[in-house]
């Protein structure tokens, strides 16, 4: 059997005495869409940082299609095909929307084609009209879309989304869910999200983090019914 | 009028003024004025080197004077040993560039943060100052060139036309060379910054982490831009050694290092023309204040004769009142005027028409 797209073995991260992530064994198949949930401080963002080379694991391994990337640099991992949209929009605030997308697209497209690719992406994220505006001047939701556009423009095999629906209006959340499903037709995704409505819209398989380790991994309908999960995290939200 | 047209208009204006200045100055100005303007042009090249790496690369370097001084010393030493200026000129560019690359390698690949980068580059400059300063004895020489310690190296032979050591470039020739070089470097850097490489450099300045997560190695890009900056400063140093036929360790001094940063702050970071304007303006002012020897004993005459004090006041005033620098602030003002005019024309139209605009 071919190696899974992404696999972690006993992955751990210690900050001084604090174990932010401990012994996580996680596997993601090619083309899979996985949701990651868990209370604040459960280690989801730290986990993402280790997958993208922003933090070097204290212990354990990250394998991407069988290659060990545990100690690779962030830019090397990006070139292998892992893209990330961070929790707080991480964009080039002082540059125009078009320049933001261009900076991403120019890494993989030849100079003759890159402008067409940028135009297509602007259309796709619905920001053609705002193309020349500075990203720092856009509304929060729009900046989220810019970052999504940036990440998609480098055409990664695996996309990590850290709270893509945070701070969005109901309509924007719906649009984002639609986009995530569309992306999933050709790419694998891991999505960290708190919004249960959003998770219901997109998820099949869900992994629950608690206190740095994987608490449970199951299909979304079972997770929503799991009393343990309700206890630690969902509370009244799931009932509502 | 959009930003693109404005951009081209600005470049055209710089080109026209630059070429007119290049052609007309020696015809109308006295030789001592031409000489004075030549040093402004040379220092403007030095200012451009910092404008590039600080304003576009986001690297605050206190060490431009180290590269500048290395270029001057390299030219002087090589010239005494070789006698024909082509190789010394190239060495005066290559050696500071190599030094910048080496220093940059340790700094960027060691992931040293911005503040420490400033401290390290300043320290390197002062180490060079002290080292060269203590080479006064006859035992300190490279080939036939004596380093001269704090006395410096006098009587440096001037540049000649490539391959012909008797065809020496005279004072007027130095003006043409320096001004043409400044223009060529200005437009060359504009091209560089408009290229893929230049746009990625600006992306890294704006958000290094994001650039990294897109697959760019910021260390390599910063090293490249830092090396180019070192090469430009070295070239300026070579011209400087030619201009006065003299170089001394003060070229590595704290005052020189600080001055370059002041030019860029006053002129405006993130532009190329700003630091040129800042450099020429401040140098002109320094010269004017220096010429203004205290003739009376009034306190203000003595104050004005104290150039460092006046420069200090200017720097503080700019940092507090015009933090973006002269050129960007003028640019903002121009845009504000443009918008105000658009608003007036819009409100003068019928409401229906105004909506359609």
- CA nearest to A35, candidates A216, A215, A207: A207
Q: Is residue A14 part of a domain?
A: yes
- What's the rounded mean pLDDT across residues B46-55? 96
Find chain B residues with C-beta within 8 A of A152's C-beta: none
Cβ–Cβ below 8 Å for A92 and B217: no
Residue B248 to residue A165: CA distance in whole angstroms = 62
Which pTM was predicted?
A: 0.90
Give per-residue pLDDT as tens, B237-279. Answer: 999 999 999 999 999 988 888 899 999 999 999 999 999 999 9
pLDDT at B349 over 60: no
Q: How confident is the model at residue B158 (pLDDT cuts 50, 70, 90)?
A: very high
Chain B neighbors of A150, CB-CB under 8 A:
210, 214
Average pLDDT, chain A: 91
pLDDT exceeds 90 at position A152? yes
Cα dist. B103→A128, B110, B117, B227, B253 in Å? 43, 11, 10, 9, 19
Q: How confident is the model at residue A39 (pLDDT cuts 50, 70, 90)?
A: confident
What residues in B contact A73, CB-CB < 8 Å? Answer: 212, 217
Decide if A9 is inside a domain: yes
DSSP assigned state of B167? S
Domain assignment present for residue A111? The answer is no
Number of alpha carbons in the 13 Å side-chain half-sphere of residue B260? 34
List Cα–Cα distances, B98 to A235, B140, B251, in angstroms. Answer: 62, 23, 19
Say how many CA atoms lie within 13 Å of A185 toward its Cβ.
6
pLDDT at A239: 43
Chain A stretch 60-89, residues whose beta carbon is closer than 8 A to a beta carbon of chain B: 73-75, 78-79, 83-84, 86
Residue-level pLDDT at A208 = 92
Instruction: Note the pLDDT tens digit of each residue in A204-226.
Output: 899 999 999 999 999 998 988 88
* Residues B56-82: tens digit of each pLDDT: 999 999 989 999 999 999 999 999 999
**Section A102-130 average pLDDT:** 95
Per-residue pLDDT, averaged over B127-156, amounts to 91
Span of A65-79, A218-232, B141-155, B284-298 with lowest mean pLDDT:
B284-298
List the structure tokens of B168.
């020496």
Instruction: Return the minimum-mean-pLDDT range out of A20-24, A123-127, B255-259.
Output: B255-259
Count CB atoms within 10 A of the CB of residue B36: 15
Average pLDDT of the residues of chain B:
90
Chain A residue with minimum CA distance to B194 = A99
Mean pLDDT over B333-353 rounds to: 70
Q: What is the CATH number of the domain that holds A57?
A: 3.40.50.300
Asked if residue A137 is part of any domain, the answer here is no
Nearest to A78 among B203, B206, B213 (CB): B213
Cβ–Cβ gap A90/B212 under 8 Å = no
Structure confidence at residue B347 as a pLDDT band (50, 70, 90)? low
A6, part of any domain:
yes
Q: What percent of chain A has pLDDT over 70?
A: 96
Find the domain containing A18 and state its range: 1-81+160-169+190-240
pLDDT band at A232 (very low <50, low <70, confident <90, very high): confident
Percent of chain A as helix, strand, coil, to the nearest 5: 40, 25, 35
From chain B, the residues in CB contact with A74 under 8 A are: 209, 212-213
Q: Which residue of B has its CA nearest to A105?
A: B214
Name the packing angle between helices B254-267 and B307-321 (round to 10°): 40
* Least confident piece of the model among B105-109, B110-114, B306-310, B320-324: B306-310
Q: How far is A238 from chain B (nearest CA, A)?
A: 34
> pLDDT at position B213, please?
96
pLDDT on residue B357: 39
Show residues of chain B in contact with A102, CB under 8 Å: 199
Total domains, chain A? 1
| Chain A nearest C-alpha distance from B327 (Å) | 18
Q: What is the pLDDT of residue A207?
A: 94
Provide the percentage of residues in chain B whose pLDDT is more than 90. 68
Whether A94 and B209 lie within 8 Å, measured CB to CB: no
Test B207 with A107 for CB contact under 8 angstroms. Answer: no
B-chain residues near A52 (CB < 8 A): 213
Q: What gap in Å lies between CA B49 and CA B181, rounded to an integer?
A: 13
């Amino acid at each position: 059997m071919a190696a899974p797209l992404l696999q972690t073995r006993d992955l751990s991260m210690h900050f001084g005495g604090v174990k932010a992530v401990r012994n996580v064994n996680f596997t993601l198949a090619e083309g899979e869409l996985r949701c990651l949930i868990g209370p604040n401080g459960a280690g989801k963002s730290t986990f993402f940082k280790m997958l993208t080379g922003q933090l070097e694991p204290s212990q354990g391994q990250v394998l991407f299609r069988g290659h060990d990337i545990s100690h690779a640099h962030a830019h090397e991992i990006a070139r292998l095909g892992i893209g990330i949209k961070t929790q707080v929009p991480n964009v080039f605030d002082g540059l125009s929307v078009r320049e933001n997308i261009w900076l991403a697209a120019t890494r993989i497209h030849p100079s003759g084609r890159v402008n067409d690719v940028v135009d297509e992406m602007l259309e796709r994220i619905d920001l053609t009209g705002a193309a020349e505006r500075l990203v720092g001047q856009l509304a929060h939701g729009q900046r989220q879309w810019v970052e999504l556009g940036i990440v998609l423009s480098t055409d990664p095999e695996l996309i990590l989304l850290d709270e893509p629906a945070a701070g969005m209006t109901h309509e924007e959340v719906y649009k984002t869910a639609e986009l995530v499903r569309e992306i999933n037709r050709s790419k694998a995704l891991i999505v960290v999200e708190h919004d249960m409505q959003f998770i219901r819209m997109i998820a099949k398989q869900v992994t629950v983090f608690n206190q740095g380790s994987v608490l449970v991994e199951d299909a979304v309908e079972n997770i929503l019914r799991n009393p343990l999960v309700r206890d630690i995290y969902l509370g009244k939200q799931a009932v509502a | 009028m959009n930003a693109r047209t404005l951009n081209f208009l600005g470049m055209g204006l710089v080109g026209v003024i630059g070429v007119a200045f290049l052609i007309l100055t020696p015809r109308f100005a006295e030789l001592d004025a031409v000489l004075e303007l030549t040093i402004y042009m040379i220092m403007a090249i030095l200012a451009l080197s910092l404008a590039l790496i600080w304003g576009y690369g986001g690297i605050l370097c206190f060490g431009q004077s180290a590269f500048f001084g290395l270029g001057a010393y390299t030219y002087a030493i090589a010239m005494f040993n070789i006698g024909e200026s082509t190789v010394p000129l190239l060495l005066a560019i290559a050696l500071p560039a190599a030094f910048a690359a080496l220093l940059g390698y340790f700094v960027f690949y060691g992931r040293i943060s911005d503040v420490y980068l400033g401290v390290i580059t300043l320290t390197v400059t002062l180490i060079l100052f002290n080292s060269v300063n203590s080479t006064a004895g006859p035992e300190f020489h490279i080939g036939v060139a004596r380093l001269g310690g704090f006395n410096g190296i006098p009587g440096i032979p001037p540049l000649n036309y490539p391959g012909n050591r008797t065809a020496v470039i005279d004072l007027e020739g130095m003006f043409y060379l320096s001004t043409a070089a400044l223009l060529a470097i200005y437009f060359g850097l504009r091209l560089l910054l408009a290229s893929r490489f230049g746009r990625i450099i600006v992306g890294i300045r704006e958000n290094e982490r994001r650039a990294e997560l897109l697959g760019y190695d910021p260390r390599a890009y910063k090293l490249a831009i830092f090396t180019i900056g070192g090469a430009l400063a070295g070239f300026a140093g070579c011209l400087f050694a030619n201009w006065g036929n003299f170089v001394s360790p003060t070229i590595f001094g704290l005052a020189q290092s600080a001055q370059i940063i002041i030019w860029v702050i006053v002129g405006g970071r993130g532009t190329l023309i700003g630091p040129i304007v800042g450099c020429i303006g401040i140098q002109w002012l320094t010269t004017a204040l220096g010429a203004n020897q205290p003739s009376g004993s009034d306190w203000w005459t003595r104050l004005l004769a104290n150039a460092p004090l006046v420069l200090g006041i200017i720097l503080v005033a700019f940092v507090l009142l015009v933090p973006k620098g002269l050129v960007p602030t003028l640019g903002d003002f121009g845009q504000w005027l443009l918008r105000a005019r658009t608003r007036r024309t819009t409100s003068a139209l019928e409401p229906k028409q105004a909506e359609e605009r």
